[in-house]
Structure 1
Amino acid sequence: MPSSPVKRFDYRALPSRVLFGAGRRHDTPDEVRQLNCVRPLIVSTPEQSELAGNIAALFNPPSAQRFCEAAMHTPWDVTSRALAVVQEAHADCLIAVGGGSAIGLAKAIALRTGLPQIAIPTTYAGSEVTPIIGETRDGEKHTRRTLDVLPEVVIYDVELTLTLPVRLSATSGLNAIAHAVEALYSVDANPVTSIMAEEGIAALAAALPAILDDPSGLDARSRAQYGAWLCGTCLGSVGMALHHKVCHVLGGTFDLPHADTHAVMLAHVVAYQAIAAPHALQRVARALQADEAWRGLHALTSRLGVPQSLAAIGMPRDGIARAAELVLEQTYANPRTPDRESVKAMLERAWCGARPQTDLS
């Protein structure tokens, strides 16, 4: 197939060190030393406190403190408590262990202290390789992009994903796919990230059903982690669009589960974009081995057994109009210019779990 003309583009590589492979968590103390640090603060959610303790136990003599109160959407009250612990412990670096909640908290601390970070992700969310932070205060989630929050080191240890529940594996993986999908039609799209995006989508689309069939399979788990790294790197390199704006509004305003929200909304937003971004979505369809991108994504979410409606994950129906209004505030660049009525119609269909629809005019 002849290649298409290469248009003018910008590409910025992000300055992170990545370690990939089973057992790589044991390299954490060496990485701390390479950062010229000696007093790490390990952050996690309450559910991952045991894992945080296991990472702390790698340090000899014991020098790592823990803060295990990370929460979804990085609420400011949690960040303020963590900052107090940083000061009391005289911490000189941060180790985030877990998913987007832990990594988001470490980013929020780093933003205000300048401390270096090591991220040890246990989900497929991808936040560990992005210079993006989303924080919630007074019921609204605000997102910004700055290299000040990019972790210096990322350690991908597939063994830490083996206990990730199948349902969360699926929703987290769909969250990662969303990063790559939007990278393909981003206003900042370029040939490098587009190759990574298509490969990342294909890797996750193959790995997630295999994880569903055999949650302990290292090959599928490694493939999913590889795909998540690629997809997250895409998100870190280019701008976000409508899907992420919708999910940030729904998550920050209604406290919906982050990965579940992405899983429910992805096929709906891709159907919404279908006419405006045909070439980008052809690549998504190819990665999914589907006729159309939105159909392939809808089939994948159905195959994985993830939530199919906003109602199922706690979205109040009377919040739809408010959500549509918030989506249109400070909108991200998007192939299709969103309007209130079409966004509201899309959210209505997503709320009740209806089939995604391309014509919402």
Structure 2
Amino acid sequence: MTAMRFAHETLGQRVLFGTGAAGEHVAAEIERLGAARPMVVAAEPERALAETATAGATPVLWWGEVAQHVPVEVAEGARAAAAEHAVDVIVSVGGGSTTGLAKAVALTTGLPIIAVPTTYAGSEATNVWGLTEDRTKTTGVDPRVLPTAVVYDAQLSRTLPVELSVASGLNGLAHCVDSLWAPKADPINQAMALEGARALNLALRGIVADPQDLDAREQALYGCYLAAVAFASAGSGLHHKICHVLGGTFDLPHAPTHATVLPYVLALNAPGVPELAARLAAALGHIPADGQDPAVAAVYALNVLRETVDAPARLSDHGFTAAGIPEAVDRILDAAPASNPVPVSGAGVERLLTDALTGATPTPAVPATV
């Protein structure tokens, strides 16, 4: 057995979990921080949820302009408004784009964030920020953008439509899968990623069966939190590099893009890490049969889940076309991590994008048996 040797960093953050308790928890956190001038960031369609979550607070500013991939001009507008109103804390209520905008404000102001997620994006548990300018999405890591506290309330995600719940949950699952072999992957974040995958597998099935099932939605929040914590520690792997290009350059929707690309990246990478592939297959409910290649088992388990929950299946459904593949390949090759489990080539990325474009069946390239 190989001796373990790694460095693991755990991010400091308070997590308050309780269905129906968001208003109470947000108010308590504002008081704990000694803040008195909250800025609430929430897209207009989620204003009612934000009012519920901040019922015990008195915001001095409501900011409703939210856009996916956080355009620089939107971030600059929110920063200026925060300064004008002498804001001393940011409360973000919404999905990944909302949390991302709050992070963009915190990045330059140092203001603390109380994040109240209404989807399963997981951005609330990471110190990663992202901004888009001139069709290029730039990401970075900075301790200032890690929310001081996260308030999870399954009641706030109850109105999230099933289709969006599935895409968002699979986005969370992508954090799990990428964390298994990202540049700073270690046994601790791998363990959290596999438990997150187990929880999300069960949660998404439960939500599809009954969208009002609060137990399933609590499991989804639990799973996405573990996924995000693992991702924050392990770093961004090939899957996220691909999706950042597709989102920032081609303006594809964040969660459906992650949900669509995930099985193809898994099919590419799983043959290079058979032990981890076997553990992932088991976490997704399929213990590899005797003689079954672990990569095949992992891809099979993910495909069964995706079929069960009717997951997004083709990039063409979201506006991507074959004409964009050459530029995407060049950008992805520039960003691909050197530590990827298998070599990343232009031909390989082109094939992956072509398959994801058309919804071809993901198939791992496993060694032939003799």
Q: Which whole-Å deviations, capped at 9, do the CAs of 1:277-319 have from their partners, x for residues lacking one? A: 2222111111012241112112211211122100011112210
Q: Which residue of 2 aligns with 1:49?
A: 47
List aligned pairs for 1:1-361, cutoff 5 A. 5-26=2-23, 27-59=25-57, 62-290=58-286, 291=288, 292-332=297-337, 333-359=339-365
Partner Cα distance (2:99, 2:76) in 1: 15
Which amino acid in the other structure matches residue 104 of structure 2? Answer: A
Query: 2: CA distance between counterparts of 1:29 and 1:323?
Result: 44
Cα distance in 1 between the residues matched to 2:352 and 2:26? 44
RMSD: 1.4
Report if aligned partners of 1:184, 1:281 keep a CA contact under 8 Å in 2.
Answer: no
Match of 2:294 in 1: none
Aligned residue pair count: 355
Aligned partner of 2:291 in structure 1 is none
Identity %: 42
Offset, 1:5: 4.5
Shift of 1:357: 2.5
What code does the residue aligned with 1:13 have?
Answer: T
Distance apart, 1:7 and its partner CA: 1.2
- Asked if the contact 2:39/2:89 (under 8 Å) is kept, the reply is yes
3-state SS in 2 of match to 1:312:
helix
**Cα distance in 2 between the residues matched to 1:115 and 1:320:** 39
> Offset at 1:103?
0.2
Shifted more, 263-272 versus 304-313: the winner is 304-313
Counterpart Cα distance in 2 of 1:114 and 1:334: 34
TM-score of the superposed pair, with normalisation by structure 2: 0.93
Q: Within 2, Cα distance between the matches of 1:203 and 1:122?
A: 17
What is the identity, as a one-letter code, of the residue corresponding to 2:32?
Q
> What TM-score, normalized to structure 1?
0.95
| Counterpart Cα distance in 2 of 1:107 and 1:358 | 37
* Distance in 2 (alpha carbons) for counterparts of 1:197 and 1:55: 28
Q: Distance in 1 between matches of 2:329 and 2:44?
A: 33
Mapped partners of 2:142, 2:279: distance in 1: 29
Where does structure 2 lack aligned partners over 5 or more consecutive residues? 289-296
The answer to which of 62-71 and 154-163 deviates more is: 62-71
Deviation at 1:134, TM superposition (A): 1.4
Question: Which range is displaced more, 298-307 or 226-235?
Answer: 298-307
Q: Deviations over 1:159-207 (max 9, x none)?
A: 1111111011111111111111111112322222121111110111011
Change (3 A) 1:63 1:183: closer
Q: What CA distance in whole angstroms lies between the structure 2 residues aligned with 1:295 and 1:191? A: 24
